[in-house]
Amino acid sequence: MNEDIKALHTLLLEQHNALFEKLGTTTNAELAKQLVLEMREVLHRIDMAQNLLFKQQTQALTKAMAGVASADQELTKAIKQAQHAAEILKGVSKFLAVVDKVLDVAKLAAGVV
């Protein structure tokens, strides 16, 4: 099993759960709609990571993973503090930009393009 993708998969699951928990506590309809939308975006990346779990580990992938921990921490903070849809959108977008780079490296290494 590709340990980098496994770690990424775990982080994505945790962030999806954090968005779900935030959804359960909000009374702001606009924020709720954005949370659901962003949950779908994260779920898409979970599916992609699952498809790559058994692909080859590469140095390029390990290097790409370097920024994920920081992006994960930023998103965790953004979810906890968000009061408006724009804050969720910004936080998830920044996180997924980093995740997408990692997934692209993994797909290229696996020949899945």
pLDDT at 113: 60
Return the sign of the alpha-carbon dihedral for residues 97, 55, 5, 9.
positive
For the chain, what percent of residues have pLDDT higher than 90? Answer: 89
Banded pLDDT at 111 (limits 50, 70, 90): confident
End-to-end CA separation in angstroms for the chain? 20
d(CA 83, CA 20): 15
81-105: pLDDT as tens digits: 999 999 999 999 999 999 999 999 9
CB 85 within 8 A of CB 30: yes
**Could you give the domains of the chain?**
3-110 (1.20.5)
Element (H, E) at 110: helix 85-110
